[in-house]
Amino acid sequence: MTSLYVGFVVAGTEYALAASDVLELEAFSGATEVPSTLPHVEGIVAVRGKVMPVLDLRTLFGHERVAPTRDTRVLVTRRGARVVALRVDSAREVLKLEPSQFQSAPALAAHEAAAYVSSVCMLGQRLLLILALSRLLGEEDEHHDDEQRRLIPNSSATGPHALPSRGDR
Protein backbone atom coordinates (compact mmCIF):
# COMPACT_ATOMS: atom_id res chain seq x y z
CA MET A 1 0.00 0.00 0.00
CA THR A 2 1.61 3.24 -1.07
CA SER A 3 0.59 6.42 0.74
CA LEU A 4 0.79 10.05 -0.29
CA TYR A 5 2.93 12.52 1.62
CA VAL A 6 3.58 16.23 1.29
CA GLY A 7 7.31 16.98 1.30
CA PHE A 8 8.72 20.30 2.53
CA VAL A 9 11.93 21.91 3.78
CA VAL A 10 12.64 23.52 7.14
CA ALA A 11 16.15 24.93 7.73
CA GLY A 12 17.67 22.75 5.01
CA THR A 13 16.16 19.47 6.23
CA GLU A 14 13.50 17.59 4.28
CA TYR A 15 10.34 16.65 6.14
CA ALA A 16 7.03 15.12 5.16
CA LEU A 17 3.51 14.95 6.55
CA ALA A 18 0.81 12.50 5.52
CA ALA A 19 -1.19 14.11 2.70
CA SER A 20 -4.38 13.15 4.50
CA ASP A 21 -3.42 15.64 7.25
CA VAL A 22 -2.91 18.52 4.81
CA LEU A 23 -5.87 20.50 3.47
CA GLU A 24 -3.98 22.93 1.29
CA LEU A 25 -0.76 24.82 0.62
CA GLU A 26 -0.78 28.61 0.66
CA ALA A 27 1.77 31.33 0.03
CA PHE A 28 2.68 33.26 3.16
CA SER A 29 3.30 36.95 3.57
CA GLY A 30 3.02 37.43 7.31
CA ALA A 31 0.70 36.72 10.20
CA THR A 32 -1.04 38.87 12.76
CA GLU A 33 0.84 38.60 16.00
CA VAL A 34 -1.08 37.39 19.05
CA PRO A 35 0.53 38.65 22.24
CA SER A 36 1.61 36.27 25.00
CA THR A 37 1.51 33.03 23.07
CA LEU A 38 4.18 30.35 22.81
CA PRO A 39 7.34 31.42 20.96
CA HIS A 40 6.67 29.21 17.94
CA VAL A 41 3.12 30.54 17.52
CA GLU A 42 3.75 33.14 14.84
CA GLY A 43 0.22 34.53 15.00
CA ILE A 44 -3.01 34.04 13.12
CA VAL A 45 -3.88 34.03 9.43
CA ALA A 46 -7.17 33.82 7.60
CA VAL A 47 -7.47 31.22 4.87
CA ARG A 48 -10.76 31.39 2.97
CA GLY A 49 -12.43 33.24 5.80
CA LYS A 50 -11.33 30.83 8.48
CA VAL A 51 -8.99 32.15 11.16
CA MET A 52 -6.25 29.76 12.30
CA PRO A 53 -2.95 29.89 14.18
CA VAL A 54 0.34 29.69 12.29
CA LEU A 55 3.13 27.67 13.86
CA ASP A 56 6.63 28.50 12.69
CA LEU A 57 8.35 25.13 12.34
CA ARG A 58 11.78 26.80 12.20
CA THR A 59 11.28 28.20 15.70
CA LEU A 60 9.72 24.97 16.91
CA PHE A 61 12.72 22.99 15.61
CA GLY A 62 15.20 25.29 17.31
CA HIS A 63 16.22 27.57 14.44
CA GLU A 64 16.04 31.32 14.09
CA ARG A 65 12.92 32.89 12.65
CA VAL A 66 13.54 34.54 9.26
CA ALA A 67 11.54 36.97 7.13
CA PRO A 68 9.21 35.25 4.66
CA THR A 69 10.47 34.82 1.10
CA ARG A 70 8.74 33.97 -2.17
CA ASP A 71 9.21 30.29 -1.40
CA THR A 72 7.71 30.43 2.08
CA ARG A 73 4.54 28.34 2.39
CA VAL A 74 2.01 27.45 5.00
CA LEU A 75 0.55 23.96 5.11
CA VAL A 76 -3.02 24.11 6.31
CA THR A 77 -3.41 20.96 8.38
CA ARG A 78 -6.41 19.44 10.02
CA ARG A 79 -6.54 17.29 13.08
CA GLY A 80 -10.03 16.52 14.33
CA ALA A 81 -11.84 19.83 14.63
CA ARG A 82 -8.62 21.85 14.75
CA VAL A 83 -7.21 23.55 11.70
CA VAL A 84 -3.66 24.85 12.11
CA ALA A 85 -1.27 26.32 9.54
CA LEU A 86 2.40 25.28 9.63
CA ARG A 87 4.96 27.69 8.23
CA VAL A 88 7.79 26.02 6.29
CA ASP A 89 10.66 27.37 4.17
CA SER A 90 9.40 25.77 0.99
CA ALA A 91 7.08 23.02 -0.16
CA ARG A 92 6.67 21.63 -3.64
CA GLU A 93 6.32 17.90 -3.85
CA VAL A 94 3.76 15.28 -3.19
CA LEU A 95 5.50 11.94 -2.65
CA LYS A 96 4.31 8.38 -3.03
CA LEU A 97 5.99 6.29 -0.36
CA GLU A 98 6.07 2.50 0.12
CA PRO A 99 5.92 0.97 3.61
CA SER A 100 9.26 -0.73 2.89
CA GLN A 101 10.94 2.69 2.73
CA PHE A 102 10.09 3.55 6.34
CA GLN A 103 12.34 3.02 9.32
CA SER A 104 11.77 3.90 12.93
CA ALA A 105 13.85 6.82 14.14
CA PRO A 106 16.16 5.56 16.88
CA ALA A 107 19.12 7.67 15.80
CA LEU A 108 17.19 10.81 16.68
CA ALA A 109 16.23 9.80 20.19
CA ALA A 110 18.69 12.16 21.81
CA HIS A 111 17.74 15.09 19.63
CA GLU A 112 15.58 17.62 21.38
CA ALA A 113 13.00 17.73 18.62
CA ALA A 114 12.94 13.95 18.30
CA ALA A 115 9.44 13.84 19.70
CA TYR A 116 8.06 15.45 16.55
CA VAL A 117 9.52 12.81 14.21
CA SER A 118 7.64 9.55 13.96
CA SER A 119 9.83 7.77 11.40
CA VAL A 120 12.53 8.19 8.76
CA CYS A 121 12.08 7.48 5.10
CA MET A 122 14.84 6.54 2.66
CA LEU A 123 14.26 7.91 -0.80
CA GLY A 124 17.29 6.85 -2.80
CA GLN A 125 20.06 8.97 -1.29
CA ARG A 126 17.59 11.37 0.32
CA LEU A 127 16.54 11.17 3.94
CA LEU A 128 13.03 12.33 4.76
CA LEU A 129 11.86 12.85 8.32
CA ILE A 130 8.18 11.98 8.70
CA LEU A 131 6.45 14.23 11.24
CA ALA A 132 3.65 13.38 13.66
CA LEU A 133 1.08 16.18 13.38
CA SER A 134 -0.48 15.54 16.79
CA ARG A 135 2.86 16.20 18.48
CA LEU A 136 3.50 19.35 16.46
CA LEU A 137 0.17 20.64 17.72
CA GLY A 138 1.11 19.81 21.29
CA GLU A 139 -1.75 17.42 21.76
CA GLU A 140 0.20 14.71 23.49
CA ASP A 141 1.83 17.04 25.92
CA GLU A 142 -0.18 18.77 28.57
CA HIS A 143 2.50 21.31 29.37
CA HIS A 144 1.85 23.12 26.14
CA ASP A 145 -1.69 23.66 27.17
CA ASP A 146 -0.73 25.09 30.50
CA GLU A 147 1.90 27.35 29.07
CA GLN A 148 -0.32 28.90 26.48
CA ARG A 149 -2.61 30.15 29.20
CA ARG A 150 0.01 32.51 30.48
CA LEU A 151 -0.97 35.93 29.40
CA ILE A 152 1.80 37.77 31.12
CA PRO A 153 4.82 35.82 29.95
CA ASN A 154 7.11 36.15 32.92
CA SER A 155 4.58 35.57 35.65
CA SER A 156 4.83 31.81 35.58
CA ALA A 157 6.50 31.56 38.97
CA THR A 158 3.18 31.67 40.78
CA GLY A 159 1.72 28.93 38.62
CA PRO A 160 -0.73 28.80 35.77
CA HIS A 161 -3.81 27.96 37.83
CA ALA A 162 -4.29 31.44 39.17
CA LEU A 163 -5.48 32.60 35.76
CA PRO A 164 -8.99 32.10 34.47
CA SER A 165 -8.59 29.11 32.23
CA ARG A 166 -10.43 29.79 29.08
CA GLY A 167 -8.39 27.32 27.10
CA ASP A 168 -9.82 24.14 28.52
CA ARG A 169 -13.23 22.79 27.89
Partner 1 sequence: MTVETNLKEFFTAYLVEMGEYLVAANTQLLALEASLRAGGANPRAVRETFRALHTMKGLSAMVGVEPIVGVAHRLEEFLRDYDKRGTKPPLASIDVLLRGVRTIELCIEELGSGSEPHPIPDNLFRDLEAIEPSGQSLEAPPPALSLAPDLVRKLAPFELAQLTQAEQSGQRALRADFCPSPERAAAGLSIATVRERVAKVAEIVKILPLSVPVSPDAPGGLAFALLLVTSESDAAIADAIGVPATTLSALCTPSADAGAALDVPLPAEDRQEPVRDGGAPQRSSLRVDVARLDDVMERLSALIVTRFRMARAVATLEAAGANTAEVTAILGETARQLRDLRAAVVGVRMVPVADLLERVPLLVRGLRRQTNRQVRLELVNGNAELDKSVSERLFPAIVHLVRNAVDHAIETPDERLRRGKPQEGLLRIVCASRSNNRLDVSVEDDGRGIDAEAVARRAGRPAPQSASELLDLLCVAGFSTRQVANTTSGRGMGMEIVKRIVVGELGGELELETAWGAGTKFTLRVPLTLSIVDAFLFECRAQRFVVPVSTVEEIVHVDPDEIVYGPRANDRGPAVGVIARRGRSIPIVMLRELFNWGAAEASPKAIVVKRAGAALAFGVDRMLGQQEVVVRPIEDPLIRLPGVTGATDLGDGKPTLVLDLIAFSEVLSAGRHRAESPS
Assess 39 for contact with partner 1 (CB under 8 A): no
**Closest to partner 1 by CB, 97 or 137:** 137
Burial 113-150 (b: 16+ CB within 10 A, else e): eeebbbbbbeeeeeebbbbbbbbbbbeeeeeeebbbbb
Q: Could you tell me which of 144, 119, 113 has the C-alpha nearest to residue 131?
A: 119
d(CA 17, CA 129): 9
| Shortest distance, position 6 Cβ to partner 1, whole Å | 21
Q: Which of 3, 4, 20, 33 binds partner 1 (CB under 8 A)?
A: 33
Residue 152 binds partner 1 (CB under 8 A): yes
Q: Which is nearer to partner 1, 38 or 114 (CB)?
A: 38
- The radius of gyration of the chain's CA atoms, rounded to the nearest angstrom, is 17
User: Is 27 a binder of partner 1 (CB under 8 A)?
Assistant: no
User: Which residues lie closer than 8 Å to 124 by C-beta, 6 or more apart?
Assistant: none
Nearest-approach distance from CB 70 to partner 1, in angstroms? 18
Minimum CB distance to partner 1 smaller for 37 or for 118:
37
Q: Minimal CA–CA distance to 63: which of 112, 16, 110, 11?
A: 11
Neighbour tally for 27: CB within 10 Å: 10
Q: Does 53 bind partner 1 (CB under 8 A)?
A: yes
Interface residue with partner 1, options 1, 12, 49, 80 (CB under 8 A): 49
Residues 62-81 that bind partner 1 (CB under 8 A): 81
Residues near partner 1, by CB under 8 A? 30-38, 41, 44-46, 49-53, 55, 81-84, 137-138, 144-145, 148-149, 151-155, 157-158, 161-168
